[in-house]
């Protein structure tokens, strides 16, 4: 007879190995891209980069320990509720770890998208200033003063470094490493080309701004087509945990048949595993980008 708990643990290990391998491949690919880029900068680890983007001045080890403590608490709590049933506790702990890391990643990517949008508006201001006869340095200064949030801080920091005699590569390295996206990299190349070769900033800004705007329109179309998938994933993930307290409030003994049955925890662990696998798959679909 097959050991259901052993099968469940094997499936959990397979999923976790797949997640680690996928993360490692993405990290290696990003390192290759950064090594071939023209703006040479030290690229932090993935988690360190997310924390830097979110302006969280926390060491990576403290975040990892915090997530590990959350997973351990969930693991021990479920072992207390279902004594001896390791698959249920293991799946829940693994899901908590992945959910925490994904939440940090998604928050960082949302902030980068906002930076891209604000940077495009700053480029419009630079173009308007250049059209009115302002110098190229004054145009960047005017865009920094009229911007808001992090774009204002980053443009001001970049100008301060340039005024102090730093090279263009050094001046833009903070912007490109903290908010690593196509928009910031293109803008960095424009600044470097302007201060190294004296190229026409107006022409380059028009080209970069058009690329950024096209990418934003394309991303809006993708987000619109995938909105149904995102809402379905959120509904399927949250609805069971909303219905269970309501059902227990209306009928307190409704859950006893599952908890008291010898195979109840196994069925519950299988349900958690399928929900967790579906969450990862739907998230992969919903994270389609340009």
Tens-digit pLDDT profile for residues 96-108: 888 888 889 888 8
Express each pLDDT in 143-197 by its tens digit.
Answer: 888 888 888 888 888 888 888 888 888 888 888 888 888 888 888 888 888 777 7
Asked if residue 160 is part of any domain, the answer here is yes
pLDDT computed for residue 41 by the predictor = 42
Whether residue 54 contacts residue 133, with contact meaning beta carbons closer than 8 Å, is answered with no
User: What confidence category does residue 118 fall into, taking pLDDT thresholds of 50, 70 and 90?
Assistant: confident
Asked if residue 158 is part of any domain, the answer here is yes
Provide the domain limits for residue 122. 117-210
Asked if residue 194 is part of any domain, the answer here is yes
Asked if residue 215 is part of any domain, the answer here is no
Express each pLDDT in 2-32 by its tens digit.
Answer: 454 555 556 556 655 665 566 566 555 555 5
pLDDT computed for residue 266 by the predictor = 74
What average pLDDT does range 59-84 have in this prediction? 83
pLDDT computed for residue 19 by the predictor = 58
Asked if residue 14 is part of any domain, the answer here is no
Asked if residue 165 is part of any domain, the answer here is yes
Q: ∠ CA 202-204-207 to the nearest 5 degrees?
A: 110
What does pTM read for this prediction?
0.71
Asked if residue 132 is part of any domain, the answer here is yes
Place of tokens 């994904």: 102
Give the chain's domain count: 1
* Strand, coil or helix: 191: helix
pLDDT computed for residue 225 by the predictor = 77
Asked if residue 202 is part of any domain, the answer here is yes
């Amino acid at each position: 007879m097959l050991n259901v708990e052993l099968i469940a643990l094997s499936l959990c290990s397979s999923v976790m190995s797949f997640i680690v391998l996928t993360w490692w491949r993405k990290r290696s690919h990003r390192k290759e891209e950064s090594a071939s880029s023209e703006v040479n900068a030290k690229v932090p680890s993935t988690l360190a980069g997310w924390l830097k983007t979110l302006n969280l001045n926390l060491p990576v080890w403290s975040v990892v320990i915090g997530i590990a403590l959350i997973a351990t608490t969930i693991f021990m709590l479920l072992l207390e509720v279902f004594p001896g049933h390791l698959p249920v506790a293991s799946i829940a702990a693994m899901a908590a770890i992945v959910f925490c890391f994904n939440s940090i990643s998604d928050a960082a990517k949302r902030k980068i998208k906002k930076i891209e949008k604000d940077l495009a508006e700053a480029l419009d201001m630079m173009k308007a200033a250049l059209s009115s006869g302002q110098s190229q340095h004054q145009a960047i200064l005017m865009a920094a003063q009229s911007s808001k949030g992090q774009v204002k801080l980053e443009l001001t920091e970049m100008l301060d470094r340039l005024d102090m005699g730093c090279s263009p590569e050094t001046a833009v390295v903070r912007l490109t490493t903290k908010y690593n996206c196509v928009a910031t990299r293109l803008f960095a190349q424009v600044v470097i080309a302007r201060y190294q070769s004296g190229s026409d900033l107006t022409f380059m800004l028009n080209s970069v701004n058009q690329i950024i705007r096209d990418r934003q329109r394309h991303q809006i179309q993708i987000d619109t087509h995938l909105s149904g998938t995102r809402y379905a994933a959120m509904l399927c993930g949250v609805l069971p945990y909303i219905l269970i307290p309501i059902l227990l409030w209306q009928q307190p003994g409704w859950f006893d048949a599952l908890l008291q049955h010898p195979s109840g925890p196994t069925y519950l662990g299988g349900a958690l595993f399928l929900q967790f696998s579906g969450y990862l798959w739907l998230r992969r679909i919903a994270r389609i980008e340009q």
